[in-house]
Amino acid sequence: MPPAPPVRREVAIEGQHHRLVIPADKTLWGILNPHKLGQMQYFDKLLPLEKQLDFKFQFLITYAAFDTKFNTAELQKIYNDNRVLMVALQPWWYGKKNDTSLIGLVQGKYDSILRVWARQFKNLGDPVFVRFGNEMNGDWSTWSSWYTGKDTDIYKMAWEHVYNLFKAEGANNVIFVFNPHDRSFPNFKWNNYLLYYPGDKTVDWIGLTGYNNGTSYAADVWRDFDAIYDPLYREYMHYFPDKPFMITEFSSNEEGGDKAAWIRQCFQHMATRYPNIKIAVWFNQVDGKWLYNLDSSPRSFAAFKEGLKDPHYQFQAVVPR
């Protein structure tokens, strides 16, 4: 891919109660912190972490499957505290193997569930990011075409169905994020992430996701931050030059290399090499053998805390009106 074109993009999204403003020379840090899905209870573990880091994460994310019911008061509490939420809407029943609910979604089987979500998000009145069917090019996602006859059009039909339903409910404050994984599994032509792209008219932001898995499992390889994000950024800027980017979730494992150095490179280079990445969300959890958590070692935690002090990340993004 050729070098990425230079971009200086300011984000300014109006809500009823708040504005989300990310200046052209800034990147907003977010976090996925351990919490209970649906009821979230985000603040129980988040506030002590923020006190340790001396930093407020103004962008939070959570997940939802068809069996998730949101606590409206918890949703509102996030916005009352001058924060913004992204919801990964995953079209399956949580934990159900070989789930093919994506087809049922296209047929309208889950419209009642989708309408409840759309109305809840609409009633918040402020920007709500929806990451529908993320990592669809990974065979761990039951909405991948691996489960639907290798037909990526079914995913695009599902995306359009959700988008149109949200619009019909008047949820115009919802921002749709298209988010493949940086590597396709299996890596065949029919599973290329571009075949899943539903089109510019129904996509607002482009999500990047690439993890440094370290060496905890036999197939894992240590990858530096730039080794992941430099080629990915250049490729996405080639195909999606008019869309703002966010790293929707990412992290580094502790095993196999120097995680603290990885984190330092991340903070330094995101501020200088990737200007179209306007939001970056750290996945602050242990996932099997992958030690993605910030406090996987004192050195890693200290590197992250130090990185947040960079003026590039220090600003008020969620502004009350």
Show the 3-state SS of the chain: CCCCCCCCCCEEEECCCEEEEECCCCCEEEEECCCECCCECCHHHHHHHHHHHCCCCCEEEEEECCCCCCCHHHHHHHHHCCCEEEEEECCCCCCCCCCCHHHHHHCCCCHHHHHHHHHHHHHHCCCEEEEECCCCCECCCCCCHHHCCCCHHHHHHHHHHHHHHHHHCCCCCEEEEECCCCCCECCCHHHCHHHHCCCHHHCCEEEECCCECCCCCCCCCCCCHHHHHHHHHHHHHHHCCCCCEEEEEECECCCCCCHHHHHHHHHHHHCCCCCCEEEEEEECCEECCEECCHHHCHHHHHHHHHHCCCHHHCCCCEEEC
Q: Record the tokens describing residue 230, joined without a space.
A: 């430099």
The predicted model gives 24-34 an average pLDDT of 95
Interatomic CA distance for residues 297 and 248, integer angstroms: 23
Q: Name which residue leads in pLDDT, 33 or 35.
A: 33
* Residue pLDDT, tens place only, 44-58: 889 999 999 999 999
Does residue 177 contact residue 86 with C-beta atoms inside 8 Å?
Answer: yes
Residues near 298 by Cβ (< 8 Å), separated by ≥ 6? none
The reported pLDDT for the residue numbered 66 is 96
Find out whether 135 and 62 touch, Cβ atoms under 8 Å: no
User: Cβ neighbours of residue 187 under 8 Å, at least 6 residues apart?
Assistant: none
Distances in whole angstroms, Cα of residue 106 to Cα of each of 89, 117, 143, 146, 202? 15, 17, 12, 17, 16
What is the predicted pLDDT for the residue at 308?
98
Q: Please report which confidence band the pLDDT of residue 39 belongs to, taking 50, 70 and 90 as the band edges.
A: low
**Residues 288-292, mean pLDDT to the nearest whole number:** 95
Structure tokens at 50: 């923020």
Burial (0-12, 13-18, 19+ Cβ within 10 Å), 118: buried
Q: pLDDT at position 152, please?
A: 98
Does the pLDDT value for residue 40 go beyond 60?
no
* Domains of the chain from N-terminus onward: 11-320 (3.20.20.80)
Task: Determine the pLDDT at residue 8.
Answer: 87
Q: Are 157 and 164 in contact (CB under 8 A)?
A: no
pLDDT value, residue 303: 98
Task: Give residue-wise pLDDT tens across range 80-136.
Answer: 999 999 999 999 998 888 899 999 999 999 999 999 999 999 999 999 999 999 999
